Amino acid sequence: MVDAGPGSLYSSRAMDAASELRAYQALAEEVSLLFKEGDLDRALGTAEAALAAQEQTSEPDQLAVASAVSSLAVLYDARGWFAMAEPLHRRALALREETLPEGHPDTILSLENLARACAGQGNWAEAESLYRQVLAAREVVLGCDHVQIAVALDDLAACRQAQQDYAEAESLFKRALHIREDALGSGHPRLCPSLDNLAGLATARRDYPEAERRFADSLAAWERAVGPDHPDVATTLSVLADVVQLQGRDSEARALHERALAIREKALGPRHPEVASSLLRLADLQAASNDGAAAEPPYERALAIQEEALGPGHPRVAATLTGLGLLRASTGRYDEAEALQQRALVIWEKAYGPDHAEVAACLTHLADLRRIRGEYETAQPLYERALSIRTRNLKAAHPDLVTSLNGLAEVYYALGRHDKAEPLYREALAVGEEALGRNDPEVALALNGLAVLLSVQERYDEAEPLYRRSLAIREGSLGPDHPDVAVSLGNLAVMYDAQNRYSEAEPLHLRALSIREATLGPDDPHVATSLENLAEAYRAQKRYLEAEPLYKRALDIREHNLGPQHADLAAGLDDLAALYAEMGRGADAAAAQDRALAIRADAG
């Protein structure tokens, strides 16, 4: 019998280690290949197996473990699952800081990856700190004028822009541009992202003419550098179209979006996620033009592309679900809209955690749906949670706070809790004026809500100037024929009716009705509201023959939209019955009242 001796044991261990290393390397190579092919599901499974294999080796190599952890985290990032990626990036960073010399490129890469995961979740303060560390480390290794420094500057600038520090963001973006110009020359295509960044900053500042000029310059630079049919040209076309749309030039915006879509379909194929992005922009444009029928097909096609290409749990899928939900809510399909928003909420919470800005936005959309349906008790906690998230994560004067404050104030108003609604409206007004300026539509919304509250309390002298200012803002910012202008006109008219100022109210009612018919269509529920308001004014003046056809038409519209047995028809029938009673038409009044009672009985 031969004694193997200790040497054969060491040899066996070495062979085992070599075999383990080869197995891990094979898995790592497979992950890289699957990622390049876009097969994220299989890549994730393989990356998890690679990490497990490395951790279970007889003598784990800490750097190999860090690499496996980082690869898995990057795949989570690609799925948009930043909350899941963040702890892995932290682990990879700790392993590399412990093992590698200070300033090693892999350690800097881990810092950068962690910063992006934090930024993806809206954790701007930590992201900024990490990006500053990345910038300082790269400057030590590469010098202050290396072209890679421009990338670090762009990341830090985007972080400062998200925190509304536009002055520092501009300085950083410009420094990045100068570095690229000095390193690459004035005509190099890698200058174009810097031009886009400065244009995007102008958009964030709401300086849309400046943004348009900069995007147009960037578009020309891209076309010179890569030709007119390159996907990068489509990207700039899309953001240029957004800025054009924000200035009210919808037909020009549509043409730019359509060109971007055509470029992407030809260059990338009809099932690429960037094709979905173009479809969504076109859908948003149609929805903003109140053309829901035209908007829905591109939304649905975009959603199908994203689910196939990115997976059903990707944040971009959630964003599309949100947009489609808003569209369906705008056409009264509230149950479908809520199902879409609930699905989006699950995705946002998994990807970003429970306290992210997108979670707050989705909660607000759900609360809006409940409020619209009169479900105020269930809307209230949704608004409160959204406001809590935004208060913790946003600066004191942020536009998103205005939305939450207005929504919660409206719920308290509807619940008759005027003592709670009024301070919220006033806070929304103050925050909106500071964050957005005195003439923003969100400020007009807060003014209108506060004016309604004061009006129902018969504080007319306080309410009237608020209504008038809200109307002036909307006419100035949205144009004289926008549906929101009709809201201000109608509310001011109703207040005049309450004061028996009928001669002042009537032209406002008529103008509100005309705007809604022209912009929303003759069968829109808002048209029915204007008809009812005008009919009430005529009835109060005993102009019965003018009031009757308005009541009837309003009922026809509501029945057309809601069906013949919907509870909302009962209130309109009550009004019509009261009119007939005042006219001495007892039989007609009884018939209308009987139908209202039957509808309420069926509704339970």
Residue 241: Cβ-neighbour burial (10 angstroms; 0-12, 13-18, 19+):
buried
Altogether, the residues listed in the chain come to a count of 604
What confidence tens digit (pLDDT) does each residue in 324-355 have? 999 998 877 899 999 999 999 999 998 888 98
Lowest mean pLDDT across 19-23, 154-158, 504-508: 19-23
pLDDT given at position 21:
46
pLDDT given at position 476:
93
- Match 């506060």 to its residue by tokens: 450
206 and 243 Cβ atoms separated by less than 8 Å? no
What does the angle CA 470 – CA 323 – CA 123 come to, to the nearest 5 degrees? 85
Give the domains, in start order, of the chain with CATH numbers.
Answer: 15-142 (1.25.40.10), 187-193+202-310 (1.25.40.10), 521-604 (1.25.40.10)
131 and 152 Cβ atoms separated by less than 8 Å? yes
Mean pLDDT, residues 553-558 = 94
Tokens at residue 464, please? 């009237």
Mean pLDDT, residues 464-479 = 95
Mind giving me the DSSP string for 467-487? Answer: HHHHHHHHHHHH-TT-HHHHH
Percent of the chain at pLDDT exceeding 70:
93
Helix-then-strand count for the chain, H and E: 28, 0
Mean pLDDT, residues 366-387 = 94
The whole-angstrom separation of Cα 2 and Cα 461 is 109
CB atoms within 10 A of CB 142: 15
Q: pLDDT grade, residue 76 (50/70/90)?
A: confident
The whole-angstrom separation of Cα 550 and Cα 531 is 5
Q: What pTM does this model have?
A: 0.74
Tokens at residue 279, please? 């479809």
The whole-angstrom separation of Cα 473 and Cα 447 is 10
Q: pLDDT grade, residue 411 (50/70/90)?
A: very high
Mean pLDDT, residues 397-403 = 87
**Greater model confidence, 604 or 541:** 541
pLDDT given at position 38:
62
Q: pLDDT grade, residue 135 (50/70/90)?
A: very high
Tokens at residue 258, please? 């359509």
568 and 554 Cβ atoms separated by less than 8 Å? no
Mean pLDDT, residues 473-482 = 92
The residue type at 489 = L
Residues 6+ apart with CB under 8 A from 153: 135, 172, 173, 175, 176, 179
CB atoms within 10 A of CB 457: 12
Whether 593 shows a pLDDT value over 80: the answer reads yes
pLDDT given at position 62:
86
The residue type at 465 = P
pLDDT given at position 520:
85
Lowest mean pLDDT across 292-296, 433-437, 470-474: 292-296
Burial string for 255-278 (b: 16+ CB within 10 Å, else e) reads ebbbbbbebbbebeeeebbbbbbb
pLDDT given at position 421:
95
Measured between alpha carbons, how far is residue 42 from residues 22, 34, 46, 351, 515 in Å?
20, 7, 6, 19, 54
Mean pLDDT, residues 486-507 = 96
Whether 24 shows a pLDDT value over 70: the answer reads no
Whether 491 shows a pLDDT value over 60: the answer reads yes
CB atoms within 10 A of CB 114: 27
Q: Would you call 404 helix, strand, or coil by DSSP?
A: helix
Mean pLDDT, residues 510-516 = 96
Conformational region of residue 101, where left means phi above 0, alpha means psi within -120 to 50, and beta covers everything else: beta
The mean of the pLDDT values for the chain is 89
